[in-house]
Structure 1
Amino acid sequence: MTEHLLLLAGAGLAAGAMNALAGGGSFVTLPALIAAGVPSVAANASSTVALYPGGLASAWVYRQGLAEVCGVPIRPMLIVTLVGGLAGSLLLLWTPSSTFDVILPWLLLAATLALAFGPRIAPWLQQHARLGAAPILAIQFALGVYGGYFGGAVGLMMMAAWSLLAGVDLKQLNPPRTLMVSAANSVAVLCFVVAGAVRWRETLLLAAGAVVGGYLGAHLGRRLDPRVVRSATIALSVAMTVAFFVRAARG
């Protein structure tokens, strides 16, 4: 029991820092919760709630760097993210844990592929596609649904999608990413708490570490080379994706 508590506290600290740097904190917290014996749907809901305060801490640090995303102002992006987050969180609550166990590795794989290969596709896409505000808002709505449903790596998915469309580096995308992830998580957290899907003891341990990690990570993110952040995040994403495919294969 003590080992599980230490594992969760450490996972929260690491995840909070990861989310502040580039996203992907759920690659740490979700396995930690499942290892502590929490069913997958409850683990996903608890992970979202636990990382929420840390995300807010990071958003506060980044607040002065907020700017439009892919040429679209922050306010409409925020609105569609909130609506998408609500739809996704309700969908998660209606998904049986056995079904989510099958879906989970594929969600992780999608996030990892988008992060790993997005920069290679970006130049071609930016040359051949000129998306207006409506398609970009539709993409952001889908990302909000993804964030509310899965939560894991939604920050990575947003960074990957935006970098494809806008061609800017990760540091420039960090401020709007932290805001949009917090927005999607706000409605998800409310739904999960009302539905009684949160395992509070484990969640509070993760949250305490995530607040500290999120604050420190946001300050560190201002100094680190984006290439280092990106490489480390991809490496962890690949490792966790493989681990969850192995887990699913073993039943």
Structure 2
Amino acid sequence: MLILLIVSAFFAGVLNSVAGGGSFLTFPALVMAGVPPLNANATSTVAVSPAALAAAYGYRKELGRIREVRLPSFLGVSLVGGLAGALLLLWTPSKLFEEVVPWLLLFATVLFAFGPTISAAIRRRWTVGHGAVLALQFLIAIYGGYFGGGIGILILATLGVFGMTDLHAMNGLKSLVSGLLNLVAVIAFIVGGVVHWPEAIAMTVAAIAGGYAGASVARRIPPPLLRKFVIAVGVAMTAYFFIQD
């Protein structure tokens, strides 16, 4: 099972730096390894957080070109929202979380599949100001701290609505934001004592390697191909958890 966890974490790091959706690999792998769903969600968050920051470092040149977004305020609401979501998870009874997991996965999969289409439709119809974008990002961060599935596409959609078009810069900022909001969630999970550390440590190392490698891989692999793979994994995992439930 350790090999399964390491391999899933490595490819989760790659996916998160390229298209998002890495938690579709790490969360089910942990559950299959016998970790209870709530603990698996917290442990998965611990594992992928450093990988997201490693991916952001890989995009450091692109991040330096960003002018459309006020980074301090955008990152600030992400940190506060991530902490709120993590605390909400800790207050959720384990049995209740097990019951909502299939629905969370379904929501994340649908969101990942149709997020770009929804984002484009919003841009055609409305002009979104900076305050509205921050409010939206705060809600996204709460969801990210609580579960995190599909968080990458949510952030990319928000940046697209705000007017960003440089996909590499958007991927870099998405990695930075998701890494930071997960970081505050990790602190809450550590304090709450819900992390399974042997699994988390092994997966963190693998995910960091995958995240840093993914930043360069992203420039060569067609994004549509990766998106199809993530969606297929999401559909399979959603079906699996509905059957198990």
Smaller-chain TM-score range? over 0.9
Report the Cα distance in structure 2 between the residues aligned to 1:85 and 1:116, rounded to whole angstroms: 23
Q: TM-score, normalised by structure 1?
A: 0.90
1:164 Cα shift? 5.0
Report the Cα distance in structure 2 between the residues aligned to 1:168 and 1:245, rounded to whole angstroms: 37
Correspondence for 1:203 among 187, 200, 205: 200
Q: In the alignment, residue 143 of structure 1 is paired with which amino acid?
A: I
Query: Are 2:49 and 2:180, in contact at CA under 8 Å, matched by a contact in 1?
Result: no
Q: 1:12 to 1:118 in 2, by over 3 A?
A: closer
Q: Is the counterpart of residue 185 in structure 1 residue 182 in structure 2? A: yes
1:172 Cα shift? 4.2
Listed one character per residue, the Cα deviations across residues 92-117 of structure 1 (whole Å, up to 9, x for unaligned) are 01111211112122222222222222
Listed one character per residue, the Cα deviations across residues 79-131 of structure 1 (whole Å, up to 9, x for unaligned) are 00000001000000111121111212222222222222233333432122111
Q: 1:9 to 1:99 in 2, by over 3 A?
A: same
Counterpart in 2 of 1:150?
147
Q: Is the counterpart of residue 47 in structure 1 residue 51 in structure 2? A: no
Q: In the alignment, residue 236 of structure 2 is paired with which amino acid?
A: A
1:152 Cα shift? 2.6
Counterpart in 1 of 2:128?
131
Correspondence for 1:96 among 85, 93, 98: 93
Listed one character per residue, the Cα deviations across residues 165-186 of structure 1 (whole Å, up to 9, x for unaligned) are 5474754420110011011111
139-148 or 12-21: which moved more?
12-21
Counterpart in 2 of 1:12?
9
SS for the counterpart of 2:31 is: helix
Q: 1:113 to 1:170 in 2, by over 3 A?
A: farther
1:243 Cα shift? 1.8
1:206 Cα shift? 1.0
SS for the counterpart of 1:72 is: coil
- Pairs within 5 Å for 1:205-220: 205-220=202-217
Q: Is the counterpart of residue 159 in structure 1 residue 179 in structure 2? A: no
Unaligned runs of 5+ in 2: none
Q: 1:169 to 1:230 in 2, by over 3 A?
A: farther
Report the Cα distance in structure 2 between the residues aligned to 1:56 and 1:198, rounded to whole angstroms: 20
1:10 Cα shift? 1.2
Unaligned runs of 5+ in 1: none
Q: TM-score, normalised by structure 2?
A: 0.92
